[in-house]
């Protein structure tokens, strides 16, 4: 099902990761090298839209590694490797710098002023000086913090090694960052936790979206999460929306925001500009719901 669910643009090499340490070490060294030169790494961007109007509301930055022999390697494979081998903090710093630099250049070029969301690994909160890094980078590029959203998974939020996460998130929010809980529903956070945490958005994991609306359990969970989020004042972004029936179910249950292949795949910065930086005479307006579902 990996193929069916869109991993087809990546070279899977998990078997290689499972074999001898030699192989792994080769990959780790290759990744360390990629990080040092920066030439094989890229950030791609996937658009996020308001479900009723199709309006563009943001982009998620997704890391890509173009390995010279393996081709495009999935972040689902190399992020864990980076975490295990002490490369995650540097990799995370590269992502932040790249995203903020891109934001600055898009602002100069007149791109829509929507936030770019970056994924933050637990290790960046534990070992890295994330707050200082963000502040330094944003001030260097003169980008306001409201344009850099932070996506953290439930496991990150629950990782005790990050200390009391509550004041840290509050401080980041006070500075202007928006914070989203990524892959919501797949972790173990309790509802009391959700009530307490300073976050702005929930990203409903695509595991719940995939089989909408046929799967009754998923349909019930999605409806309940949407109702709960609304009551808590949290905006939901549904991940992995690929097909019209999924979109319709989400729209009819009050989901405000969507992201998925139906709207766009993750794209290079150049492709984003080609799509969104059109001359005013011919705006490539975001698809409206009606257009998107055709
Ligand atoms: P995520 O943060 O949940 O990102 C969403 C993933 O879903 C992306 O996979 C995206 O390409 C994919 N996706 C989006 N729409 C659809 C759809 O309609 N159908 C399907 N089948 N998939 C869709 P990707 O880019 O392979 O990234 C996988 C994971 O790797 C991310 O999941 C995130 O956890 C991690 N990741 C990616 N970039 C970074 C990064 O810069 N830092 C960290 N720490 N993790 C990252
Ligand atoms: Mg994410
Ligand atoms: Mg996600
Ligand atoms: Mg996910």
Contact present, 93 and 128 (Cβ < 8 Å): yes
pLDDT per residue over 26-71, tens digit each? 889 999 999 999 889 999 999 999 999 999 999 999 999 999 888 9
The tens digit of pLDDT for each residue in 193-205 reads: 888 889 999 999 9
| Nearest ligand 1 atom to alpha carbon 205 | 3
- What is the reported pLDDT for 154? 87
Q: How far apart are CA 180 and CA 197, in angstroms?
A: 11
Residue nearest to atom 27 of ligand 1 (CA): 75
> 3-class secondary structure for 249-279?
HHHHCCCCEECCCCCCCCECHHHHHHHHCCC
Ligand 4 centre from 109 Cα, in Å?
31
pLDDT of residue 291: 55
Residue pair 228/255 in contact by the 8 Å Cβ criterion: no
Which ligand is closest in space to the CA of residue 202? Answer: 3
Q: Which ligand number lies closest to the CA of residue 203? A: 3
Confidence of residue 245 (pLDDT cuts 50, 70, 90): very high
- Which atom of ligand 1 is least distant from the CA of 76? 30
Measure the CA–CA gap between 203 and 179, rounded to whole angstroms.
10
Using pLDDT thresholds of 50, 70 and 90, give the confidence band for residue 7: very low
pTM over 0.95: no
Choose the residue to mutate in 71, 75, 148, 242 for probing ligand 1, maximizing ligand atoms within 8 Å of C-beta. Answer: 75
At 258-270, the pLDDT tens digits run 999 999 999 999 9
Pocket test for ligand 1, best of 6, 46, 62 (most atoms within 8 A of CB): 62
- Among residues 265, 266, 260, which one has the least CA distance to residue 212? 260
Ligand 1 atom closest to residue 10's alpha carbon, by position in its atom list: 26
Mean pLDDT across the chain:
88
In the predicted model, is pLDDT for residue 72 greater than 80?
yes
> What's the pLDDT at 274?
94
Q: What angle do CA 162, 257, 118 make, to 5 degrees?
A: 35
Which SS3 state, helix, strand or coil, does residue 31 take? helix
Closest-CA residue, ligand 1 atom 29, reads: 76
Kindly indicate the confidence band of residue 2, based on its pLDDT and cuts at 50, 70 and 90. very low
- Residue by residue, DSSP assigns 118-130 as EE--HHHHHTS-H
Write out residues with Cβ below 6 Å of ligand 1. Answer: 5-6, 46, 62-63, 74-76, 79, 95, 119, 121, 151, 182-183, 206, 239-242, 259-261, 266
pLDDT at 16 over 50: no
Q: 24 pLDDT exceeds 80?
A: no
Rg of the chain over all Cα atoms, to the nearest angstrom: 19
Instruction: Name, in order, each residue with C-beta under 8 angstroms of 39's C-beta and a sequence gap of 6 or more.
Output: none
184 Cα–ligand 4 center, Å: 8
pLDDT above 90 covers what percent of the chain?
72
* For ligand 1, mutation pick of 239, 259, 262 (most atoms within 8 Å of CB): 239
pLDDT reading at 85 higher than 90: yes
Confidence of residue 6 (pLDDT cuts 50, 70, 90): very low
Whether residue 166 contacts residue 198, with contact meaning beta carbons closer than 8 Å, is answered with yes
Burial of residue 157 (CB within 10 Å: 0-12, 13-18, 19+) is: buried
Q: 25-35 as b/e, with b when 16 or more CB fall inside 10 Å?
A: eebbebbbebb
Sign of CA dihedral 202, 206, 207, 209: positive
DSSP states of 184-202 as a string? Answer: ETSS---HHHHHHS--SEE
């Amino acid at each position: 099902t990996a193929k069916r669910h869109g991993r087809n643009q990546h070279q899977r090499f998990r078997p290689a990761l499972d074999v001898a340490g030699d192989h792994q070490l080769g990959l780790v060294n290759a990744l360390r090298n990629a990080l040092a030169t920066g030439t094989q790494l890229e950030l791609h961007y996937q658009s996020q839209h308001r479900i009723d109007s199709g309006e563009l509301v943001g982009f998620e930055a997704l890391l890509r590694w173009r390995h010279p022999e393996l081709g495009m390697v999935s972040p689902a494979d190399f992020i864990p490797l980076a975490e295990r081998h002490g490369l995650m903090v540097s990799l995370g710093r590269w992502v932040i710098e790249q995203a903020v630099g891109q934001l600055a250049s898009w602002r100069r070029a007149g791109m829509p002023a929507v936030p770019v969301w970056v994924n933050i690994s637990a290790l960046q909160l534990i070992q890295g000086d994330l707050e200082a890094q963000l502040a330094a980078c944003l001030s260097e590029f003169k980008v306001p913090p409201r344009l850099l959203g932070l996506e953290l998974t439930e496991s990150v939020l629950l990782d005790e090694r990050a200390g009391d996460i509550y004041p840290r998130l509050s401080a980041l929010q006070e500075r202007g960052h928006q914070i989203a809980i990524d892959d919501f529903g797949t972790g173990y956070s309790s509802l009391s936790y959700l009530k307490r945490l300073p976050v702005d958005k929930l990203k409903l994991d695509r595991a719940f979206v995939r089989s909408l609306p046929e799967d009754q359990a998923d349909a019930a969970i999605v409806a309940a999460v949407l109702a709960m989020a609304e009551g808590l004042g949290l905006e939901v972004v549904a991940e992995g929306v690929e097909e019209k029936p999924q979109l319709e179910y989400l729209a009819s249950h009050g989901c405000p925001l969507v992201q998925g292949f139906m709207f766009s795949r993750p794209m290079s910065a150049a492709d984003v500009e080609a799509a969104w930086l059109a001359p005013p005479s011919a705006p490539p307006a975001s698809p409206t719901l009606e257009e998107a579902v055709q």
